[in-house]
Amino acid sequence: MLKVEEQQSVGTYENPIIRPMVDMDHEQVLFCQDKATGLRAIIAVHNTVLGPSLGGTRMWTYNNEMEALNDVLRLSRGMTYKSAISGLNLGGGKAVIIGDSRKHKSEALFRRFGQFVDSLGGKYITAEDVGITTRDIEYVSMETEHVAGLPEYRGGGGDPSPVTAYGVYMGMKAAVKHQSGNDNLAGKKVLVQGAGHVGQYLVELLVKEGAKVAISDIHEDRIKATKAKFAVEVVDADKVYDADMDIYAPCALGATINDDTLSRLRCSIIAGAANNQLAEEARHGAAVMEKGIIYAPDFLINAGGIINCYSEVIGYNRDMAYRQTEDIYQTTLNILQKSADEKIPTYLAANRMAEERIASIASINQRI
């Protein structure tokens, strides 16, 4: 595999010297620049042992290329683990476009970006991420077929949020089963932080099962919309970490498990959709375990979205996406058991399981 440092000759837009903070062993990093459209993007292919790398494109106002590079390296590596642990035949990749998604978008920019994606010959499949809409992805798809996350009327899988919520629900039930031998959520106090796309669907599943659900959101309209549909309590956004709850379901932002919140949280299970919930994976992953809290790894239980995308790559079938998402239940149980047996944090158990799968498939990739 090519190391990132060895690819410096590929160059960058303005900065001739790129020194990423970490070497994460990526296969390929492509810097894309087009003066006519103002496109500045980076595509990172982390690992394709299991299959083509799939991961969304993020459009963000990065302060410089270094920030963008570090973000895309970190995110693409995360996708490798997410797909591997979910049993998908996909590798990990991600792209970032440097720019303001409210100001710098155009049809030409996305089509030029699509040409760069196409130049990788299917090694990278793109989709939506922060700052990117379905419309943008449709422009990308005019230049390349290596696209997922198209709307339903274009043969795509549509909004992945209900599938993601279903996976989180499965992971949560598995955590309860591991804890008590019974996966029934009835009567459990669950606090859903973030009543957004995923949060809404998760609340629906929890209420249906008889859980005592509380929600928290910084936007009043989201709270009103949720309260209009479901019998839920509301917790002020700044009181979440002191609230009385059995299960904390972070469905808003990352890094909410940190030094400050860990000293306050009174739950016994953490299971939610947000990405990168542990502020520092190693330190806070260990601290959660020491506190006796069962943490269902985020990249495992929020994989419904990527499973939905994968289904699109192989020929979209909503039922199949849900069926495969249901497997999150058993995988979560396996990981929690591995964590207990080996006395290691759950995130580490999940990482190791993903690495083991990649290594074992790498060994059969040389055909007989």
By CB under 6 A, name the binding residues for ligand NAD.
160-161, 164, 193-199, 216-219, 222, 237, 251-253, 273-275, 302, 305
Pick between residue 42 and residue 307 the one whose CB is nearest to ligand NAD: 307
Residue nearest to ligand NAD (CB): 196
Q: Which of 82, 94, 173, 212 is catalytic?
A: 94
The least CB distance from residue 107 to ligand NAD, in Å, is 25
Q: Write b or e for each residue in 184-223: b if 16 or more Cβ atoms lie within 10 A of its Cβ, otherwise e.
A: ebeebbbbbbbbbbbbbbbbbbbbebebbbbbbbeeeebb
Of 4 and 272, the one with the shorter C-beta distance to ligand NAD is 272
Distance CA 250, CA 238 (A): 14
| Beta strand segments in 56-135, E | 57-60, 91-98, 124-125
In the complex with ligand NAD, the residue whose CB is nearer, 3 or 219, is 219
Question: 40 Cβ partners below 8 Å, 6+ apart?
Answer: 13, 32, 33, 65, 97, 98, 99
Between 116 and 299, whose beta carbon lies closer to ligand NAD? 299
Whether 94 is catalytic is yes
- Print the SS3 string covering 248-275: EEECCCCCCECHHHHCCCCCCEECCCCC
User: CB 262 → ligand NAD: shortest distance, Å?
Assistant: 17
CA distance 84 to 60: 27
The CB-of-178 to ligand NAD minimum distance in angstroms stands at 22
User: Nearest approach, Cβ of 85 to ligand NAD (angstroms)?
Assistant: 14
- Could you give the residue numbers annotated as active site? 94
